[in-house]
C-alpha cells in the first residue's frame, strides 16, 4: 500500500487508515450518522481526505464546497445540501461565517504551512470558541467497524447556467461499485492495478486540481483507495509541477487543458530543466482542449497523453490514447467498455456518421442519481434512458466521438446553427491568440450574431479586422464574428471551463432569453 503526502507530512497507508478511523469516530461523536452529509469547505489538504474516508466508513456523504463562493453562494449550498457538519479551514471561516445556517456545527481545520505558502498567507489564527479538527481526531479512538462501500461525494455542478445542482447517488451495490472502479481505472491508467498485474505502490500521482471539482475529487480518492502513492498539492503551479514530477518520480496525472496552456507558456529553458521521463499516463478532461495545445503537449511529453469524456451525472464514457488522437485529431475518443453513447436528432433517432446531433450516454453502473431538491432538473437530464449532458457532437466513420459545442452555446443566426467551438478552434490557431470565447449576442435582423472575445498573447498586437480576415480564409462568412473585443483575461473556472454566461449576460440583459 502506498503513502499520502502533503507538505512535510507523510502517512503510510496503514497510518492513513488509522487517521481515517479516528476521523470516523470524531464525526460520529458530533452526532452525524449514516445518510447524513458533511460539508468540506477545504483546500487540498490531508484533513480533507481524512474526513472523506472517515465519513465513508460510516455511510456519510462528503459534500466538497467551492471555497471561492460568495456569502450568498455558500449559504445556498450549505442550506440546500442539508449537511449536518461543516469542516472549514481557519482562514476561510471569517469571510463566510455569516453564511453558515443557524445551528450547523462548525469544526475548524488549521490552515497548514503548505497551504499558507501556496496562497501567500501569513499566520492564520484559529477562530475562538470553535473545536479544532486535529484535536478531535487525535483524541478519538479508531472506529473499529468494518467499512462498507463508501457513498459518492455530493458534487455541486459548476452552475454556469444558474445555481449549482447537487448530484446525489444512492449507495452502490457491489456490482455497481465494481463497474465504477473499472471506469475510473480505465480513465486514470490503473487498469493493471485493478487486474492484479501491477503493484499500486509503483504508481505515484499528484492531486493538482481543486478537490471540490468532480474529476480531481474522483481521481484523488480512487488513487488513495487503490493504494497508489499520492502527493497532495495545495494548488497548481506550472514550474512547480515539473519540479515535482522529477523529485517524486510522478507516473500518473489527471489534468485539465488550462494546465497544459500554462505549462506550454513556460520559457524553453524552464521546460528543458526537469527530467519528466517517469511519466507514464497523463489524462485530461473537463474542458475542450484546442488541437494545437494537445499536439504540443504530445510533442513535449510523448505519447503518454490520454483523454476521457464524461460528466458528473453520466460518468466517464469515452477514452482516447495519444496515437488515436493523432490519427483522429479533435476527437474525445471511442466508447469505453460497458458504456453507451448515442448521437441523436430531435426525434431521438441515431444520426449517420459525420452528422451533428445531441450526445447522450451512460456508464455501466447506471444513471440512478438525483439533484438535491430539484427533481424537475433531474427529469430534464434524462432522455431515452440515457443522460444528456447538453453537448452536440458526432461520430466519425471509425466510431470516434467529436464534440461540437454545448447546446446552450449554439448560436442560431438567420436560421443557421453556428457552433462556437468550431470558430474558437480556428482562432486558437492564429498567431498571437492566447485564449478566446465565442458566443451569440442580440441582432435585430438575424436574431443573433457571432461575437468573440480574444485574449492576446503577451506582446502581441491584434486587430479585429485582421483576425476577421484570417478567419474568412477557413470559415464560411456567416461564421466569422461580426464583433471582436479584446481582454487581458477570460473568466474561467478552475476546471478550465469559460464562464460564457458572464460574457454574454450584459448583452442579453432585459431581454426574454435564457442565458
Q: Residue 440 belongs to a domain with what CATH number?
A: 3.30.300.30
Q: Can you tell me which residue has the cell 482516447? A: 320
Do 426 and 376 have their domain in common? no
Query: pLDDT value at position 511?
Result: 62
Cell numbers found for residue 511 = 431581454
389 and 502, same domain (yes or no)? no
Question: CA angle 166-46-173, nearest 5°?
Answer: 45
- 157 lies in some domain: no
What is the CATH classification number for the domain harbouring 57?
3.40.50.980
Is residue 81, in this structure, part of any structural domain at all?
yes
pLDDT, residue 271, reads 97
Q: Are residues 394 and 269 in the same domain?
A: yes
Q: What is the DSSP letter of 70?
A: -
Q: Are residues 332 and 402 in the same domain?
A: yes
Which of 407, 428, 455 is where one domain is finished? 407
Closest CA to 317 of 362, 365, 257: 362
Given 349, 372, 407, the domain boundary residue is 407
Q: Residue 417: which domain range?
A: 410-508
- Which cell numbers in the block locate residue 95? 469571510
Q: Are 280 and 367 part of one and the same domain?
A: yes
In a domain? residue 172: no
pLDDT on residue 291: 84
- pLDDT number for residue 160: 42
Q: Which of 407, 422, 441 is the last residue of a domain?
A: 407
Q: Model's pTM, two decimal places?
A: 0.84
Is residue 144 situated within a structural domain? yes
Residues 6 or more apart whose Cβ sits within 8 Å of residue 100: 74, 75, 78, 86, 106
Q: What's residue 193's pLDDT?
A: 97
pLDDT of residue 161: 45
Q: Residue 285 belongs to a domain with what CATH number? A: 3.40.50.12780
Length of the chain: 515
Q: How many domains does the chain have?
A: 3
Contact call for residues 448 and 413 (beta carbons, < 8 A): yes
Q: Report yes or no on 257 lying in a domain.
A: yes
Distances (CA, A) of 458 to 74, 76, 135, 432, 434: 36, 39, 49, 8, 8
Is 467 part of a structural domain of the chain? yes
Stretches where the chain sits below pLDDT 70 are 158-162, 415, 494-496, 511-515
On whether both 383 and 417 belong to a single domain, the answer is no
Contact 140, 29 (CB under 8 A): yes
333 SS3 class: strand
The reply to whether 158 falls in a domain is no
Q: Tell me, what's the pLDDT at 240?
A: 97
Write down the pLDDT at residue 514.
40
Q: Based on the fold, state whether residues 262 and 357 are members of the same structural domain.
A: yes
Do 189 and 337 belong to one domain?
yes
pLDDT for the residue numbered 452: 96
136 Cβ contact list (under 8 Å, min separation 6): 26, 29, 30, 107
103 inside domain: yes
Rounded to the nearest integer, the mean pLDDT of the chain is 91
Q: Retrieve residue 11's grid coordinates.
A: 502517512
384 and 491: one domain?
no
Q: Check whether residue 314 and residue 250 sit in a common domain.
A: yes
Residues 118, 34 share a domain:
yes
Residue 254 and residue 209 share a domain: yes
CA distance 97 to 436: 37
Whether the Cβ atoms of residue 109 and residue 131 lie closer than 8 Å to each other: no
Amino acid at each position: 500500500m502506498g503513502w499520502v503526502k502533503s507538505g512535510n507530512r507523510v502517512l503510510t497507508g496503514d497510518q492513513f487508515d488509522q487517521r481515517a478511523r479516528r476521523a470516523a469516530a470524531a464525526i460520529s461523536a458530533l452526532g452525524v450518522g449514516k445518510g447524513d452529509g458533511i460539508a468540506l469547505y477545504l483546500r487540498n489538504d490531508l484533513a480533507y481526505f481524512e474526513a472523506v474516508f472517515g465519513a465513508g466508513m460510516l455511510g456519510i456523504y462528503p459534500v466538497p464546497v467551492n471555497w471561492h463562493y460568495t456569502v450568498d453562494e455558500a449559504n445556498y449550498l450549505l442550506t440546500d445540501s442539508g449537511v449536518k457538519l461543516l469542516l472549514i479551514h481557519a482562514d476561510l471561516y471569517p469571510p463566510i461565517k455569516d453564511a453558515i445556517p443557524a445551528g450547523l456545527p462548525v469544526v475548524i481545520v488549521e490552515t497548514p504551512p503548505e497551504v499558507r505558502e501556496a496562497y501567500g498567507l501569513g499566520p492564520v489564527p484559529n477562530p475562538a470558541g470553535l473545536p479544532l479538527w486535529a484535536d478531535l481526531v487525535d483524541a478519538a479512538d479508531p472506529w473499529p467497524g468494518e467499512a462498507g462501500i463508501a457513498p459518492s461525494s455530493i458534487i455541486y455542478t459548476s452552475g454556469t447556467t444558474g445555481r449549482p445542482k447537487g448530484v446525489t447517488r444512492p449507495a452502490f451495490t457491489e456490482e455497481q461499485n465494481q463497474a465504477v472502479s473499472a471506469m475510473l481505472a480505465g480513465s486514470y491508467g490503473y487498469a493493471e492495478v485493478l487486474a492484479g498485474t501491477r503493484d499500486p505502490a509503483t504508481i505515484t500521482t499528484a492531486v493538482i486540481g481543486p478537490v471540490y471539482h468532480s474529476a480531481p475529487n474522483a481521481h484523488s480518492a480512487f488513487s488513495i483507495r487503490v493504494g497508489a502513492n499520492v502527493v497532495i498539492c495545495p494548488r497548481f503551479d506550472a514550474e512547480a509541477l515539473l519540479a515535482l514530477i522529477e523529485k517524486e518520480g510522478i507516473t500518473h496525472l489527471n489534468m485539465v487543458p488550462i494546465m497544459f496552456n500554462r505549462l506550454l507558456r513556460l520559457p524553453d529553458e524552464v521546460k528543458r530543466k526537469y527530467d519528466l521521463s517517469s511519466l507514464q499516463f497523463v489524462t485530461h478532461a473537463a474542458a475542450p482542449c484546442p488541437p494545437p495545445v494537445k499536439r504540443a503537449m504530445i510533442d513535449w511529453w510523448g505519447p503518454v497523453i490520454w483523454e476521457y469524456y464524461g460528466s458528473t451525472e453520466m460518468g466517464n464514457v469515452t477514452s482516447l490514447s495519444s496515437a488515436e488522437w493523432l490519427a483522429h485529431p479533435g476527437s474525445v475518443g471511442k466508447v469505453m467498455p460497458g458504456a453507451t453513447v448515442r448521437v441523436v436528432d430531435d426525434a431521438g433517432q441515431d444520426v449517420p456518421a459525420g452528422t451533428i446531433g445531441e450526445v447522450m450516454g451512460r456508464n455501466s453502473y447506471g444513471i440512478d442519481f438525483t439533484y438535491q431538491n430539484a427533481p424537475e432538473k433531474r427529469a430534464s437530464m434524462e432522455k431515452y434512458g440515457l443522460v444528456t449532458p447538453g453537448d452536440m457532437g458526432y461520430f466519425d466513420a471509425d466510431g470516434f466521438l467529436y464534440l461540437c459545442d454545448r447546446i446552450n452555446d449554439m448560436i442560431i443566426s438567420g436560421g443557421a446553427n453556428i457552433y462556437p467551438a468550431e470558430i474558437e478552434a480556428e482562432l486558437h490557431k492564429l498567431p498571437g491568440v492566447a485564449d478566446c470565447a465565442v458566443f451569440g449576442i442580440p441582432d435585430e435582423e438575424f436574431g443573433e450574431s457571432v461575437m468573440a472575445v480574444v485574449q492576446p498573447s503577451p506582446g502581441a498586437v491584434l486587430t479585429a479586422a485582421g483576425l476577421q480576415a484570417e478567419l474568412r480564409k477557413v470559415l464560411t462568412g456567416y461564421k466569422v464574428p461580426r464583433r471582436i473585443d479584446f481582454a487581458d483575461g477570460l473568466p474561467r473556472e478552475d476546471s478550465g471551463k469559460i464562464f460564457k454566461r458572464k460574457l454574454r449576460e450584459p448583452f442579453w440583459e432585459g431581454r426574454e432569453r435564457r442565458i
